[in-house]
Copies of this chain bind each other. A is one copy, B any other.
Amino acid sequence: MVEGEGLLVRKIRSGVVIDHIPPGRAFTMLKALGLLPPRGYRWRIAVVINAESSKLGRKDILKIEGYKPRQRDLEVLGIIAPGATFNVIEDYKVVEKVKLKLPEESQGVLRCPNPTCITRKEREKAVSKMVLVSQDPPAYRCVYCGTTVMGDEIHDLISP
Q: Which residue of B lies closest to A35 (CB)?
A: B49
Copies in the complex: 2
B27 touches A37 (CB 8 A): yes
A49: chain B residues at CB < 8 Å are 41, 43-47
A24 touches B46 (CB 8 A): no
Instruction: Report how far A24 CA is from B35 CA in the complex, Å.
Output: 11
On chain A, the number of residues with a Cβ less than 8 Å from chain B's Cβ atoms is 22
B48 touches A46 (CB 8 A): yes
Instruction: Report how far A49 CA is from B43 CA in the complex, Å.
Output: 8
**Least Cβ–Cβ distance between A28 and chain B, in angstroms:** 8
Indicate whether A43 sits within 8 Å of B50 (C-beta atoms), given known contacts A9-B9, A9-B10, A10-B7.
yes
**Least Cβ–Cβ distance between A9 and chain B, in angstroms:** 5
Q: Which residue of B lies closest to A24 (CB)?
A: B37
Instruction: Report how far A137 CA is from B50 CA in the complex, Å.
Output: 36
